[in-house]
A = this chain, B = another copy of it.
Amino acid sequence: MSEADPESVQSGSAATADASGGGTSRRALLAWGGAGLALGAAAAGGTAAILRQNSEPAAPGTMGMAVPFHGEHQAGIATPVQDRLHFAAFDVKTKDRAELIKLLKEWTAAARLMTAGLPVGEGGFGGLPEAPPDDTGEALGLKASRLTLTIGFGPGLFAGDRFGLNGRRPVALVDLEQFPGDNLDASRSGGDLCVQACADDPQVAVHAIRQLARIGFGKVAVRWSQLGFGKTSSTTPDEQTPRNMMGFKDGTRNISGTDKAALDKHVWVGAGDGSDWLTGGSYLVARRIRMHIETWDRTPLQEQEDIFGRDKGEGAPVGKSKEREEPFLKAMKPEAHVRLAHPDTNDGATILRRGYSFTDGTDGLGRLDAGLFFLAYQRDVRKGFIPIQRNLAKNDSLNEYIQHVGSAVFAVPPGVRDKDDWWGRTLFT
């Protein structure tokens, strides 16, 4: 971790000392606030102390720590992938540009506190007895848990001249086409705004989305949301590649969160890419992919391995013995998933994957409603997800066992630079 930004460090406090250890505890704050003191000043000091740049990812094994909120890029993209996810897409209800900007500033302030492991609100969780609490409280006593909150702006925000953003829609923020096999549910697709909450503790991620929904009451409404119980991708090559609900390692060759050259080439929007406000940002494609796992589970092992182009146990590509050996694509069947998704098959198209497994109970037929909530970041959707998905949707032998049932695309603004900055400033000013 880099040192605290001197500009943002304020006068010391008990909370500051705690936060500088990296493991800010809501519990410590609470024990203190329980005495009835106003927490405002102390909370502000504690927050400031953790405002380090997020350019360097946290080391593994730092589960309770806070990930710096401020930085050139938003955290939650190159950040080592946390264990759990709560993702929400919002419809904007207000028609007032000023009200939307005010909300984005309030959201930023709340995100700054929550990612530091602190409750929302200037006065701690509580506020006055006669008013609703500033924070709903279910994360009091829990650690920061590497919470990251990442905002995105959907195509609808730029529609017509709804918020005076005419002409500011990035050319690369294209509406996704209907791919072969898509069976999209409108109630699980789209959205004017999205927030991705990742944390090692799901209660911390759920709490964060709930606070933002509450702060936005009357101005925005949750359109859809998705809980992810297990990550399926890693941006940390020295960690074990997680397995998806089909039991396979997928995404072994994901972009590393520390590979600056690859991130600049494939993930971050560059200064010459055509939308200045988005420089340092990215594009997010979210797809809810239902897996027909009961059918998959009755498929022979050899067939499963042929479909992926990897063996199930080790995850090694066909003909190789180790997961991370370079795949020899021609050894695989032409319709193998690894072969079709590989950059060499797609003119170099490369995306950063950050998906999660989901299980949302049971459908009406007694089958688990389970699968992959696919999240991919890229510099240009037209050169990332779209060419890869065109190829997969047409040819992938996995298609017999999966179905895309939700879809959304968002422009992801650059990072919040400091305590005076806010989500969307480069777009709205």
Q: Which of A194-216 contact B (CB under 8 A)?
A: 201-203, 206, 210, 213-214
A111 adjacent to chain B (CB < 8 Å):
no
A334 adjacent to chain B (CB < 8 Å):
no
Distance in Å from the Cβ of A227 to the closest Cβ of chain B?
6
Taking CB atoms, residues of chain B closer than 8 Å to A359 are: 86, 206, 225, 227
Q: Which of A137, A222, A223 has the most CB of B within 10 A?
A: A137
CB pair B362–A132 under 8 Å, yes or no, is no
A283 adjacent to chain B (CB < 8 Å):
no
Give CA–CA (A226, B227) in the complex, Å: 13
Residues of A in contact (CB 8 Å), total: 73
Taking CB atoms, residues of chain B closer than 8 Å to A30 are: 313-314
Taking CB atoms, residues of chain B closer than 8 Å to A299 are: 132
Given A138-B357, A247-B133, A240-B210 contact (CB < 8 Å): no
Distance in Å from the Cβ of A368 to the closest Cβ of chain B?
7
Give CA–CA (A63, B300) in the complex, Å: 34
A244 adjacent to chain B (CB < 8 Å):
yes
CB pair A243–B141 under 8 Å, yes or no, is yes
A273 adjacent to chain B (CB < 8 Å):
no
Task: Specify the chain B residue showing the minimal Cβ separation from A133.
Answer: B301
A245 adjacent to chain B (CB < 8 Å):
yes
Given A229-B227, A301-B132, A313-B125 contact (CB < 8 Å): yes
Taking CB atoms, residues of chain B closer than 8 Å to A59 are: none
Q: Which of A72-112 contact B (CB under 8 A)?
A: 84, 86, 91
CB pair B301–A129 under 8 Å, yes or no, is yes
A417 adjacent to chain B (CB < 8 Å):
no
CB pair B361–A33 under 8 Å, yes or no, is no
> Looking at the complex, which of A2-10, A290-298, A392-400 is the stretch in contact with chain B?
A290-298
A34 adjacent to chain B (CB < 8 Å):
yes
Distance in Å from the Cβ of A243 to the closest Cβ of chain B?
5
Given A132-B299, A247-B138, A360-B360, A222-B314 contact (CB < 8 Å): no
A140 adjacent to chain B (CB < 8 Å):
yes
Taking CB atoms, residues of chain B closer than 8 Å to A246 are: 136-138
CB pair B202–A140 under 8 Å, yes or no, is no
CB pair A125–B312 under 8 Å, yes or no, is yes
Taking CB atoms, residues of chain B closer than 8 Å to A361 are: 224-227, 360
A126 adjacent to chain B (CB < 8 Å):
yes
Taking CB atoms, residues of chain B closer than 8 Å to A243 are: 137-141
Given A138-B247, A313-B33, A214-B294 contact (CB < 8 Å): yes
The contact of A301 among B126, B293, B298, B300, by CB within 8 Å, is: B126
Taking CB atoms, residues of chain B closer than 8 Å to A213 are: 368
Taking CB atoms, residues of chain B closer than 8 Å to A311 are: 34
Additional pairs, 10, CB under 8 Å, beyond known A128-B301, A131-B301, A206-B229: A126-B313, A129-B301, A130-B300, A132-B301, A133-B247, A138-B230, A140-B243, A213-B368, A225-B359, A360-B361
A residues apposed to B, CB below 8 Å:
27, 30, 33-34, 84, 86, 91, 125-133, 135-141, 187, 201-203, 206, 210, 213-214, 217, 221-227, 229-230, 240, 243-248, 293-294, 296-302, 304-305, 311-314, 357, 359-362, 364, 366-368, 370
25 A-B interface contacts by CB (under 8 A) = A33-B313, A84-B202, A91-B366, A125-B312, A128-B301, A131-B300, A133-B304, A136-B245, A136-B297, A137-B243, A137-B248, A138-B230, A138-B243, A138-B357, A139-B243, A140-B243, A187-B364, A201-B230, A210-B368, A214-B294, A225-B362, A225-B368, A227-B227, A227-B359, A360-B360
